[in-house]
Amino acid sequence: MSGYTKLKIVSLKSHPNYNEVWLQNLIASDPEILGLGSLVVKDRERTHRGRGRLDMLLQDEDSVGRYEIEIQLGASDESHIIRTIEYWDHERKLYPQYEHTAVLIAEDITSRFLNVVSLFNGHIPIMALQLTAVETPEGVGIVFTRVLDTVKLGLVDEDETVFDITDRTYWEKTKASPAMLALADQIYEICRSFAPNLIQSYKKNYIGFRLNNQPFNFAVCKPHTHSMWLEISLPQNDELDSEIAAQGLELLAYNRHFGKYKISLKAADIQDHRDYLKTLLKQAYDNRS
């Protein structure tokens, strides 16, 4: 057939010229080849005392996401799973300020492997990437296919319990300044302009909403002493990132696991961007509905 070229798939495990070190160097030179976004290399062959060495630690360039990556040429196996989860667990305990994801890379990810790993997913954020090596006259080309993705965690309100309920006095005494609580009130009033039946819901770690006597957290407020974080449940995309930044709002790291934009607000931000914030909140409300 004219224009057709049959690809020659090769195994890196048995290849005389390409090995795991070569693959690590390739990923280090161009981390975006993994298809996980704009990443930077934080470490390679990272020593975990008593556990061995983590092959690679990558981090989101403009965020707090970290990826604990374990590479295995050939087929995946049980030890591959165990090592990756151990490294992930160790890193998240050492650096809890980051959002950690375990990433397993292998040339052959078996159905048994996927079945086992899928048992953890939802409890442990874990991905599986299958690499395919294609030999060409110019060298070897590598393609990474995401065969198992992290499970997006449930909405905040899906796990609320009656024991988590607090009140405004609790926040005034232990969490936030009156000025920042006032910002949460302003966000509440903005939301009531398009959803008049919403009620503020004070929880230990955030101030959310209730609708028809049920949790309805399309957005939550987290007042502090000098600022307030507004988290809005919207899918991330580059256009929206640029749009929020163009407004002059302070955009914090996107929460990939819960699918939330996080914006740090001060009093002037709500005054200057009230209409835009209303647009974002209304969109999240409609999506939640």
The average pLDDT across 282-289 equals 90
Record the pTM.
Answer: 0.55
The span from the CA of 189 to the CA of 123, in Å, is 36
User: What integer pLDDT is reported at residue 121 of this predicted model?
Assistant: 61
The average pLDDT across 102-114 equals 83
Q: How confident is the model at residue 63 (pLDDT cuts 50, 70, 90)?
A: low
Which tops the pLDDT comparison, 90 or 150? 90
CB atoms within 10 A of CB 83: 21
Q: Assess whether pLDDT exceeds 50 at residue 100.
A: yes
Return the SS3 of 143: strand
User: What integer pLDDT is reported at residue 281 of this predicted model?
Assistant: 96
Instruction: Please compute, for residue 62, the number of CA atoms within 13 A of its CA located in the half-sphere on the CB side.
Output: 9
Q: Assess whether pLDDT exceeds 60 at residue 158.
A: no
The average pLDDT across 241-247 equals 91
User: What integer pLDDT is reported at residue 152 of this predicted model?
Assistant: 52
- 67-81 pLDDT, tens digit each: 999 988 888 877 888
User: What integer pLDDT is reported at residue 162 of this predicted model?
Assistant: 43
Residue type, 91: E
The span from the CA of 193 to the CA of 197, in Å, is 10
- 257-276 pLDDT, tens digit each: 678 899 999 889 999 999 99
User: What integer pLDDT is reported at residue 122 of this predicted model?
Assistant: 62
Q: How many degrees, rounded to 5, is the angle at CA 95 between CA 91 and CA 98?
A: 100
The fraction of the chain above a pLDDT of 70, given in percent, is: 91
User: What integer pLDDT is reported at residue 139 of this predicted model?
Assistant: 78
User: What integer pLDDT is reported at residue 163 of this predicted model?
Assistant: 41
User: What integer pLDDT is reported at residue 159 of this predicted model?
Assistant: 45
* Chain mean pLDDT for the chain: 84
The fraction of the chain above a pLDDT of 90, given in percent, is: 28
Residues constituting the chain: 289
Instruction: Please indicate whether the domains covering 8-148 and 156-288 agree at the CATH topology level.
Output: no
The span from the CA of 219 to the CA of 222, in Å, is 10
In CATH terms, the fold of domain 8-148 is: Trna Endonuclease; Chain: A, domain 1 (3.40.1350)
DSSP H or E stretch at residue 14: none
- 123-151 pLDDT, tens digit each: 788 888 888 888 888 778 888 888 877 65
- 19-30 pLDDT, tens digit each: 888 889 989 998
User: What integer pLDDT is reported at residue 62 of this predicted model?
Assistant: 63
Give domain 156-288's CATH architecture: Alpha-Beta Complex (3.90)
User: What integer pLDDT is reported at residue 14 of this predicted model?
Assistant: 83
Q: Assess whether pLDDT exceeds 50 at residue 153.
A: no
CB 109 within 8 A of CB 142: no
- Residue spans of the domains in the chain: they are 8-148, 156-288
Q: Assess whether pLDDT exceeds 50 at residue 185.
A: yes
Weakest-pLDDT range from 117-121, 204-208, 236-240: 117-121
Which tops the pLDDT comparison, 6 or 236? 236
